[in-house]
Structure formats: C-alpha cells, structure tokens
Structure 1
Amino acid sequence: MTASTASPDSYYQRTGEGRYKPTAHAQGAWSADEQHFSPLAGLVAHAIDRYLAAGPDTGLTVARISYDILGRIALDECEITVGTVRPGRTVELLEAVVVIGDRPVVRARAWLLAALDTAAIAGTPDEPLALPETFPRWAMTDVWGGGFIASLDVRRPTSPAVGRATAWITTGLDLVAGEPSGPMASYIALVDTANGITVRQRPTEWMYPNMDLTIHLHRSPEGPWTGLDTSVTFGPAGYGLTSTVLHDAVGPVGRAEQILTVRPLPGPR
C-alpha cells in the first residue's frame, strides 16, 4: 500500500486495530517515498494513549518517551503494538513497536510516573519564549520539501544564527482521521521538526537525519503550539546533536535530544 490522499485533513487513517495508513501529509523531507518521523512519533504517542485508556486508571503520566529509528520508514501502512515492560503503582515502563512490511522500523519506550502535587516547589531556569504571534511566519518549504513540512504553520525569527533558532509550530490537520488525539500526542507530533528549523549545511548538499528522538518532560504540554528553542551541533567525526528546550504557550515543558548521522550527499555522476 502507498500513502492515501483520500483524507486531506489528517496525517493518518485507521485501517484496523493498531493499523494506520499515512496520507500524503506525512511525506518526509529527505525522500518522497518515506514518512517524516515527526507525525509518526505523534502516532506512537497516540497508540500509547489508547493502550492506557483501555486499562485501569493508574494516575500515572508520561514523563519520558524515547524513540529509536531502526531503518527506512516507508510511506506505507504501519502496525503499532504497545505493551507493558515494567508494571508498577508509582512508575511504569511501556514499549511500542512500529512495523512496516513485517519489519520493525521504530521502537519506543515510555516511562510513566505518578502524578503528585508539587506545585509549591516547581521551578526551572529556562525562560519562556515570546508568544507565537510575536514571530513572523517562516516558509519552511523554502529549505525543506515533503508533504509534512508543507502542512505546517511555522513562526521563526527572520535571520537566526547558524545552528541556533527558536520557533513555534502548529498544524490544522488531525493526527488520525475522525479520531480525537490527546494533547500529548498532538504536541509530540511536531517535536521532530527541531532538526530542520535551523540548518548548518544545506540539505541539498549534506544529509543529517536523526537516528533517535528522546523527550523528557517536567509537565504535560498543552496545545496547539509546540515551541522549540534549538541548538544544532555537528562534530568532527560524522555525527552531531540537535538539542531543544521544549515550550508551550504557558512556558517550558521539557527537553528533546536527537543524534544525527552527518554525511555529504553524493555528487552528480
């Protein structure tokens, strides 16, 4: 199966229990026949939400979710399974696996922690970002291709420093057609764009896709905007790091890290 264009207002369509078909809006930035990882990360979070909703209310909340990208993510129907690795009353570990064509392409693990009232001692050294309406619209499609990037509303300063940028991102599309998604999944569906909001080298000359995404949260994010305060580092030996302080309109919510494989694109033959 290939990407569906029958639902222009969503990134995925449900095709069965745990099965989803991407629309053209999920198309990746590096290759037209691949999925962008960002909406797929949100879809995994959505599957975790559904798994939790089907069980007893434990009062636990997602505090960390990490994704390992195992290979090429074709723009094709996927199946997501979720299970409990380590059950518990105050901490719990879940694992989700994404399979395309009988091959695992993503493994994700989520730590759930007990939700307690610690408002009296809450604090962070991270300063809030200026609100989205204070930033101009940025045509991210001037740098990146693909249906996912084209679906976004991006606000960013006009001329950020190389490897350093802040941005706000939102979308008017649903994650799954006809299926409400929680604020966590909708927020996470936009985080992987951090690796593209500021570039050290043009993606027409160099490749630097991320091999993972790890999100740590100190509170649950609220939509509809995902705020990114991002730094991109390329090391001298073929790999790099994209580091982001995550925000919503209320303030900082956590951090995201992505390890990059950095290599030049092959020249013309």
Structure 2
Amino acid sequence: MGAVEGFFERVDAGRFLATEYTRGPWDPGAQHAGPPAALLGRAVEERSDARAGMRIARITYEILRPVPIGALEVATSVLRAGRGTEVVEASLTPAGGAAPVMVARALRIRVAEEAVPAVVPGPQVPPPGEAGAVPFFPVPWEAGYHTAMEARFTEGAFVELGPGTCWMRMRVPLVAGEEIRPLDRVLVAADSGNGISSVLDYGRFVFVNGDLTVHLHRHPVGEWACGIPYRRGRGRHRPGRCPAARREGPHRAQRAELVRRSAVVRAPGRRPCGLDGGLRRRRGWVGDARRIDCSGLRAGWRGVRHGRITR
C-alpha cells in the first residue's frame, strides 16, 4: 500500500487531493470512475444544508471527460427541494479548471419512520467467504484502483467470457483518516459493473460508458458490495444493467449507457494493435472525445505498457 491510506486526501471542506489508489487501468494520469463517483455521493450527503431524515434513492453521473489524478474541487447545489424529495447536483472540477469533469444529480427521499411491508427478495448469491480472492485483470502499474479493492468471484472472472458475479470490498477508506461509510462502499464499486461480465469477446469489442446511474432500494449495510451478472443490450449504443446486493439482500441496480466499437486500432506507420486482458474494454471514449495512442505499444505484450489516452 502507498504512503497515504485512502483514495483521497482532504485539503479542506470542498477540496481534495487524489492519491495513486484512484488510478484506473487505462491511463496512468486518469482515475477509475468509482472513487470520484463515491466522492460526489459523499458531498451530496455531508453538505451543510443537507436535511436529516433523507437518503439517496438515485444518483446519475455524467462522466464528461477523464478525471485527472491531482487536486480536485467539489461543489454542490440544490436544484429542487420539496417536502418529501429533493434533487441535488454535485460537480467535480480539477483545481484551477474552467469546467467540471464529472457531474452528479442525486434524488434524495424522505425516510419513513413507520414500518413498511417486506419486498420480494432478489437474486441470492453465495457469500464472499465461500469465494477466494482473485487478482484484477493485467494492469501495467503497481498501485491503483486494482490494488485498493478486493474482488471475489462466485461465478466467472475478469477475463472469462460470460456472466460474472463478484463481491468487492474497499481496502482503503475513501478519504484518508476518515471512516468508510456504507454509501462509499457501494459507489466506489458501482462503475465496475461492465468489468465483471463480458457477453462479447473483449478481443473484438470494447465498451465505454459515458454515464452511470445507481438506484438504491434501501440503506446499504456491511462492507461487501456484489455485482450480479451484467447484461449488455444488443446494438451499437445500448444500455447495460447490473443489479447488486449485500449479504442481507439486494440494495441497488446500476445502469450505464455503453458504446460499442472495434477493439483493434492502428497507429500511423505500425501494424494494428490490440489491447489484451481487461484493458481492452476501457480504452477510452469513442468519436472525437478521446483516442488511444498506440505508438508506444509493444506487439504481443498483454496490456498497455507505454500507451496512453490522449485528447
């Protein structure tokens, strides 16, 4: 583990410094979307004007551009406040930046004090104690999201074709020196849904999500979050869904809009390059937003060695 035990260091109430544990598998300077998503979720809940007796029922993220590893500023605003609901927006902007890189809109609902009828139980999966720890897919750097999270599959694996069921647990807190909250555990793992199951061959297709929506059916509890078989829609631009559970039962459902494209790219003056392992599914945005620079890839190496995502 690194010198700072946490995904972020708190500078003050609205400023944070991202650590190496936020690093994703596709670019050494960009974060995995899970930690910043959890940071925005916490900002919605801990803001000074947050009303007691309410919880997040849904939170939708717009991932506008890669989230850099560095100093970040968080801002929140209430878009609508009613007697039983409120809508809160939270934004994440690089320090000194002119525009946010991630924006979240959360629907908070009033929590009823009286008892409510039990709901039909969702999918039941073996507990994490019955599954062994497994490494993440090959990543070309030592520290990052893949070392800050523990993963245990009860079905499938990161690099296996087909449905997968995976328990995930944080090894470090969201903010160094601060207690891990149940919502942190859910949101840190939420963006990993399209990484635990593969319906199509990652050697031919990659899937990139520009948004993420998490529905919370109840207060999350416990230290493990479980992603249950991820379902991708058919077609070029279709949503994927990933229900999730705790040992006590289902607590959320995730939805992300995925964009499919070919997994083979060509660099000028070089033969086509394919990204092996789990890295192939998170190579970057499609179209004009981001592209992969393959000039530093070494043929035959499993994963990105010197390649990087460029604007």
Normalising by the smaller structure, the TM-score range is 0.7 to 0.9
Partner of 1:207: 206
The equivalences for 1:45-56 within 5 A come to 45-51=41-47, 54-55=48-49
Match of 1:68 among 62, 66, 69: 62
Partner of 1:111: 107
Partner of 2:285: none
Kindly state the Cα deviation for residue 72 of structure 1 after the two structures are TM-superposed: 1.9
CA distance in 2, matches of 1:244, 1:30: 22
User: 1:183-229 CA deviation, whole Å, 9 max, x = no partner?
Assistant: 11232111111111123456576432211110111101113101110
The equivalences for 1:93-132 within 5 A come to 93-100=87-94, 101-117=97-113, 119-132=115-128
TM-score by length of 1: 0.87
Do 2:169 and 2:185's aligned partners in 1 also have CA atoms closer than 8 Å?
no
User: 1:25-49 CA deviation, whole Å, 9 max, x = no partner?
Assistant: 1001222210000011111111112
Kindly state the Cα deviation for residue 117 of structure 1 after the two structures are TM-superposed: 4.5
Percent identity, please. Answer: 26
The SS at the match of 1:196 is helix
> CA separation of 1:38/1:112 partners in 2, compared to 1, >3 Å: closer, same or farther?
same
Aligned length: 261
Do 2:156 and 2:197's aligned partners in 1 also have CA atoms closer than 8 Å?
no
CA distance in 2, matches of 1:79, 1:235: 38
- Root-mean-square deviation (Å): 2.3
Q: Aligned letter for 1:36?
A: H
Query: Could you list the runs of 5+ residues in structure 1 that have no partner in the other structure?
Result: none
The equivalences for 1:1-269 within 5 A come to 6-7=3-4, 9-51=5-47, 54-55=48-49, 57-100=51-94, 101-117=97-113, 119-142=115-138, 147-157=144-154, 159=156, 162-200=161-199, 206-233=205-232, 235-237=234-236, 239-265=237-263, 266-268=265-267, 269=270
Q: Aligned letter for 1:178?
A: G
Q: Aligned letter for 2:239?
A: L
Kindly state the Cα deviation for residue 234 of structure 1 after the two structures are TM-superposed: 5.4
Q: Aligned letter for 2:11?
A: T
TM-score by length of 2: 0.76
CA distance in 1, matches of 2:72, 2:177: 18
User: 1:40-93 CA deviation, whole Å, 9 max, x = no partner?
Assistant: 111111111221xx2364311111111011112222221110111101221111
Larger Rg: 2
The SS at the match of 1:109 is strand
Do 1:81 and 1:96's aligned partners in 2 also have CA atoms closer than 8 Å?
yes
CA distance in 2, matches of 1:200, 1:57: 42
